[in-house]
Amino acid sequence: MIKKAILPVAGLGTRFLPATKAQPKEMLPVFDTPAIQFIVEEAVAAGIEEIIIVIGPGKSAIKNHFEPAPELESILEARGKLKELEIVRHISSMANFHYVQQDEPLGDGHAILCAEDFLEADESVVVLFGDDLVDNEAGKNAVEQLLSIYQEKSEPVILLNKIQPEETKKYGVVGLDEQETQQVKINKFIEKPEPEEAPSDLGVVGKFILTPEIITLLKQQKAGSDGEIRLAQAFDQYLQGGEALWGKVLEGQRFDTGDKQGFLAATLHYAKKHL
Taking only the tens place, the pLDDT of each residue in 156-205 is 999 999 999 888 988 889 988 867 678 889 998 888 889 888 988 999 99
Query: What's the pLDDT at 13?
Result: 85
The span from the CA of 179 to the CA of 186, in Å, is 9
Q: What's the whole-number average pLDDT of the chain? A: 92
Query: What's the pLDDT at 226?
Result: 84
| Average pLDDT of the residues in 136-152 | 94
Task: State pTM to two decimals.
Answer: 0.94
Domain spanning 4-274: which CATH class is it, in words? alpha beta
The span from the CA of 135 to the CA of 90, in Å, is 20
Does 90 have pLDDT greater than 90? yes
The span from the CA of 20 to the CA of 17, in Å, is 5
Query: What's the pLDDT at 189?
Result: 85
Q: Identify the band that residue 37 occupies on the pLDDT scale cut at 50, 70 and 90.
A: very high
The span from the CA of 6 to the CA of 98, in Å, is 9
Better-predicted residue by pLDDT, 181 or 119: 119
Does 111 have pLDDT greater than 90? yes
Strands (E), the chain: 4-9, 29-30, 33-34, 50-55, 96-101, 125-128, 132-135, 157-162, 172-180, 183-191, 202-210, 245-249, 253-256
Does 84 have pLDDT greater than 70? yes
Query: What's the pLDDT at 178?
Result: 67
The span from the CA of 191 to the CA of 198, in Å, is 9
Q: What is the DSSP letter of 223?
A: P
Least confident of 35-39, 44-48, 78-82, 225-229: 225-229
| Average pLDDT of the residues in 12-36 | 91
Residues 6 or more apart from 145 whose CB is under 8 A from it? 136, 159, 248, 250, 251
For Cα atoms 118, 140, 271, give the angle at the middle one, nearest 5 degrees: 95
Q: b vs e for 168-188, b when ≥16 Cβ sit within 10 Å of the residue's Cβ? A: beebbbbeeeeeeeebbbbeb
Query: What's the pLDDT at 228?
Result: 87
User: 84: exposed, middle or buried (C-beta count within 10 Å: 0-12, 13-18, 19+)?
Assistant: middle
Quote the percentage of the chain above a pLDDT of 70: 99
Q: b vs e for 87-99, b when ≥16 Cβ sit within 10 Å of the residue's Cβ? A: eebebeebbebeb
Q: b vs e for 227-248, b when ≥16 Cβ sit within 10 Å of the residue's Cβ? A: ebbbbbbbbbbbbeeeeebbbb
Phi, psi of 239, deg, nearest 5: -70, -40
Q: What count of Cα atoms within 13 Å lies in the side-chain half-sphere of residue 190? A: 18
| Average pLDDT of the residues in 222-239 | 88
Query: What's the pLDDT at 62?
Result: 95
Does 77 have pLDDT greater than 80? yes
